Amino acid sequence: EVQVVESGGGLVQPGRSLRLSCAASGFTFDDYAMHWVRQAPGKGLEWVSGISWNSGSIGYADSVKGRFTISRDNAKNSLYLQMNSLRAEDTALYYCAKGRGGALYDSKDYWGQGTLVTVSS
């Protein structure tokens, strides 16, 4: 069974950093792209970042470019999101999602339940 499980969310002050993790199982992790998608309370979905199977192709939303860094460790079946200089508008439920294929440009066929990030003083 395919599973992706996010962790690392919490309450953080503006300007501080947080690192999210996503543990994957039930599929050959290093064959697939992975993504982070967020959803602010009561709002729609926003793609945050994605990384291809071999980390050769990486993309970011304009709203997080220069502040967030995506990475993956294929040996550990894990995806990460390093979030720096956090702002109140980064408050959201952050989903980890598996790509349908290995390329960055593909849809997402399995999603975790999300980890909540709250940025507030």
Residue 35 or 72 having the CB closest to another protein: 35
> Nearest distance from residue 57's CB to another protein, in Å?
9
* Closest residue by Cα to residue 36 from 11, 19, 54: 19
- List residues binding another protein (CB under 8 A): 35, 37, 44-47, 50, 59-62, 95, 100, 104-109, 111-114
Question: What DSSP character marks residue 31?
Answer: G
State the minimum distance, in angstroms, from the CB of residue 113 to another protein. Answer: 6
Nearer Cβ to another protein, position 23 or 61?
61
| Residue among 13 and 96 whose Cβ is closer to another protein | 96
Distances in whole angstroms, Cα of residue 45 to Cα of each of 13, 27, 73, 75, 81: 23, 25, 26, 30, 17
